[in-house]
Amino acid sequence: MTDPADAPQRPRIKLKPKANARALRHGFPWVYSNELVTDRRTRKLEPGTLAVLEDEAQRPLGLVAVNPDSKIIARMLDRDADAEIDQSWFETRIARALALRSQLYDAPFYRLVHAESDGLPGVIIDRFNAACVVQPNAAWADAHIHALCDALAKVTGCATILKNASGRTRGLEGLDDVDQVMCGAAPTAPVPVAMNGATYMADLTGGQKTGLFFDQRENHAFAARLVAPGARVLDVFSHVGGFGLAMLAAGAGEATCVDGSAAALELAQMGADAGGFGDRLTTRQGDAFDVLTALGAEGAQFDVVICDPPAFAPSKPALEAGLRAYERVAKLAAPLVAPGGYLGLCSCSHAAELTKFRNASARGIGRAGRRAQLLHTGYAGPDHPQMPQLAESGYLKAVFFRLD
């Protein structure tokens, strides 16, 4: 620990008497605004300010980053209240995260840092070989972006580091949406990523999120196991062809990818071409609900149908509407599955926990007049580790059914 005499002078903030200090001592990383004594001095702190968090008896709990404008008013950075948040501090955490991914994966394509689970609250880093895309989704990370990126370059040796400022969370933190090249030069072409026998094209500067959804890798692999030679497959909300390309690589005879983004579907076609099965891919642009309805009216049938929509329930207030949307997806998709075929349904809404999502999916299947066996429940891959104390870190669910 740093000698207290040499420690930086930092503001001190205090929990209210009824706040759950025990949960924080046991690893919960957040303090909500209604748990903190927010006097005039605290409310005047700049977003991202580092402060010492104390319990009601003024005993230090650790070093936190404060944002008076956020519902999550404080995020735990270090149990050492005197820790210095500098490049060396970032290097230690990034190196620990890198050691795990290097053990898990043969090639440097993965989520390198998964926010709180890797000790960097609000920070997402996806790696694409020699390039990294950083999402600093909390005010403290935005304020320390240069130290973070310098540490990232040193630990990984990556020549290109991009800051991606898109996403709902930055808005909640009061941050801007301005992307930036932090190091090197932005790629001028999509980056090919090999996974599960397929090649995906990631647009690191103009695509959704960081350019690719690494979290579905394990679920893509399971869906590929459901494919018999020559199978007809449908990938709805496909983005760049995540499920569709994996199933084509596994021997599907034909795949249809449905998405609202023409740019994403173009990348899906590029990936199919790179994999040598471009002639077996069909793309269909449009609203997924409209396309599902139209396919039903056409009497279309597929051996495997996968629906991987965006977060319909991004927060608790949106939960009931989100569950109805998931139920509707299941109801529209189930009739498209040939007898004995498979239906995979996904949710990336942390507010829709597994039981509620699974029940909504089952209701939709039942309302479509189909009976189902639940075969498998999938989650994000191990490059998206969960923090046991933080349910939000385990946001992704995928349920796979066999329909009669």
Active-site residues, by number, are: 348
Tokens representing residue 197 in the block: 């026998």
Q: Compute CA 239 distance to the chain's CA centroid, rounded to the nearest angstrom.
A: 14
Does residue 36 contact residue 67 with C-beta atoms inside 8 Å?
A: no
**Helix runs in 276-396, H state only:** 288-298, 319-333, 354-367
C-alpha distances in angstroms, 32 versus 28, 63, 67, 380, 399? 11, 15, 10, 26, 32
- Per-residue burial over 308-321, b if 16 or more Cβ lie within 10 Å, else e, is bbebbbbeeebbee
Q: Measured between alpha carbons, how far is 142 from 171 in angstroms, rounded to an integer?
A: 12
- Residue 188: CB partners within 8 Å, gap ≥ 6? none
Residue 24 is given by DSSP the state H
Q: Measured between alpha carbons, how far is 202 from 208 in angstroms, rounded to an integer?
A: 9
Does residue 235 contact residue 255 with C-beta atoms inside 8 Å?
A: yes
Q: Measured between alpha carbons, how far is 63 from 51 in angstroms, rounded to an integer?
A: 6
Terminal Cα-to-Cα distance of the chain (whole angstroms): 62
Helices (H) and strands (E) in the chain, counts: 12, 19
* 3-class state of residue 140 by DSSP: helix
Characterize the bridge pairing of strands 180-183 and 160-163. antiparallel
The length of the chain is 404
Burial class (CB in 10 A: 0-12, 13-18, 19+), 37: middle
What's the number of CA atoms in the CB half-sphere (13 Å) around residue 227? 27
